[in-house]
A = this chain, B = another copy of it.
Amino acid sequence: MKRPAAGLTLDDYLPYRLSVAANAVSDLIAGAYHARFGLTVPQWRLVAVLGEDGPSTQQALCARTRMDKVTVSRAATALGERKLISRSPNAADGRSHRLGLTGEGQALYAEVAPSALAYEARLLEAFSPPELETAHGLLRRLELAATALAAKMG
């Protein structure tokens, strides 16, 4: 059953479907990581990237996680206060700091990462590997199309 040619049907409107699905998933995950590790989504993303790629600057983290620099700054401050990351002054550039996981941060990462994957696996139980492949591809292309169109409009 498809949309009747001329009509706007909210349920069939892809931006709406995307938003609803993303919120449902995001609320679930955010709740889980807040409850289990006391991390917000931005904080969790920083831990994930620092654990995955090693030390970095905030600017690089912005690009890597697609988050605002204010968001990254605050997440980094919070993680620093909890001693999960260290912020050493960057010898190469006095404006920026070098962020990296502390021992405690690495321990957290070692616990969080498998847990995140397990959670994802439970969420995606009903999806076959080729379906997931397709989903990833579609999401990437959507993101690309949206940013391209945004740039075109200005």
Q: How far is A141 from B41 in the complex, measured between Cα atoms in Å?
A: 23
- When all copies of this chain in the complex are counted, the total is 2
> Could you say which interface size class chain A belongs to?
35 or more
Report the Cα distance A17→B133, complex, angstroms. 12
A32 nearest CB across to chain B (Å): 7
Shortest Cβ distance from A146 into B: residue: B24
Interface presence of A122 (CB below 8 A): yes
CA distance A147 to B138 in the complex (A): 22
For chain A residues 26-42, which have a beta carbon within 8 Å of chain B? 26-29, 31-32, 41
A26 touches B20 (CB 8 A): no
Contact B139 A10 (CB under 8 A): no
Q: Mark A120-154, 1 if CB is under 8 A from B, else 0.
A: 10111111000110111011111101110110010
Q: Given that A15-B29, A45-B16 are known contacts, is A125 also in contact with B145, CB under 8 Å in the complex?
A: yes
Instruction: Mark the stretch among A47-55, A73-81, A91-99, A100-108 that contacts chain B.
Output: A47-55
Kindly identify which residue among B65, B126, B135, B146 contacts A28, using a CB–CB cutoff of 8 Å.
Answer: B146
Q: Report the 7 A-B pairs with minimum CB-CB distance, sorted nearest first.
A: A22-B22, A24-B146, A8-B113, A21-B143, A21-B139, A17-B139, A25-B146
